[in-house]
Chain A
């Protein structure tokens, strides 16, 4: 799922204009003031949904942050357009000079913005991918009718090897753009040539990944569990050995490139 934020007066209008230009399923997320987010309080209810027979729905709830919401949307939508989140770590369009953490484009007004170029902009940034994104993609594969198994691997940031370790706060990943992707595609293709292996999907995040957060996913769609297990193991092993991605570790004490240790 590709994500673009828009901040400044008219952000919501521009989200709607841009949504109409995008090819795929689009979700929009609008920032609400604190007073508007008070849930209708019913004791013991954390989320409330309304659903109609034709599939229309509304929902409300408490206890959700933007990252968690994007994780949930990522499996089901091709695009998420956010209006009014200047601090979000997502590529952001700033209207009328409003400040944001990661501005990639600017326009004077919502009407002056060139939606065709924004549609290209959103595709040029790293997508938001979760394990669920890849699992849903595997399930949507034309070969899924032959699949009795999906095996997955998730690599995450480990804070400590042992009790006395300096905790790892974050890892920062850098990749060789273009070459990393073609290497991963080549590995997937070789693994898919195995008997009973139908689809192999991989994704590695880049930039800063905080302690406890997910880094890398490998998903194997296979006829049976044996080839699914073997292939998911070989997939992550080969990714770690062969794909040009580099990590720098930040602990409470120091910062270092992991290959130097």
Chain B
């Protein structure tokens, strides 16, 4: 499945889209671990010292807010972005 990254997260990763290969029963959290594994520079931008996802980081699955425990399916579009700042 594919991650879409935005704003400074895309700059840190050096790419706006990242494909990850995960098992069929992977959760959104597993797919996030695979993303950060492929782009370690993201780790400190996404996870706090306690290893938890920062509250201000948004994770979407197919355009809707997603919990890390949520199941994924092949072909999902996942998105990771900082606080929105339009207007």
Does A247 interact with chain B (Cβ within 8 Å)?
yes
Is B87 touching A216 in the complex (CB atoms < 8 A)?
Answer: yes
* B85, A155: Cβ atoms closer than 8 Å: no
Number of A-B contacts (CB under 8 A): 67
Q: Are A248 and B7 in contact (CB under 8 A)?
A: yes
> Which residue of chain A has the shortest Cβ distance to B79 in the bound complex?
A176
Least CB distance, A136 to chain B, in whole angstroms = 22
Interface of B, secondary structure class, is loop
- Could you tell me if B85 and A179 are in contact, using CB atoms closer than 8 angstroms? no
Chain A residues contacting B83 (CB-CB under 8 Å) are 259
| B38-87, CB < 8 A from A | 56, 58, 60, 63, 79, 81-87
For window 161-192 of chain A, which residues contact chain B by CB distance below 8 Å? 173-176, 178-180, 182
The one of B8, B60, B79, B85 that contacts A245, using a Cβ cutoff of 8 Å = B85
Decide: B7 and A246 in contact? CB cutoff 8 A: yes
Q: What is the CB-to-nearest-CB distance from A17 to chain B, in angstroms, rounded to a whole number?
A: 36
Given contacts A178-B63, A182-B63, A244-B81, contact A173 B7 (CB under 8 A): no
Within 8 A of B (CB), among A228-254: 236, 239-248
| Contact yes or no, A204 B8, CB < 8 A | no
Pairwise interchain contact B87-A204, C-beta atoms closer than 8 A: yes
The interface of chain A, by Cβ under 8 A from chain B, is: 155, 173-176, 178-180, 182, 204, 215-216, 236, 239-248, 257-260
The interface of chain B, by Cβ under 8 A from chain A, is 4, 6-8, 56, 58, 60, 63, 79, 81-87
Q: Sample 28 A-B pairs with CB under 8 A, ordered by A number.
A: A176-B4, A176-B60, A178-B63, A179-B60, A179-B79, A182-B63, A216-B86, A236-B87, A240-B85, A240-B87, A244-B58, A244-B81, A244-B84, A244-B86, A245-B84, A245-B86, A245-B87, A246-B7, A246-B81, A246-B85, A246-B86, A247-B86, A257-B8, A257-B82, A258-B85, A259-B82, A260-B8, A260-B82
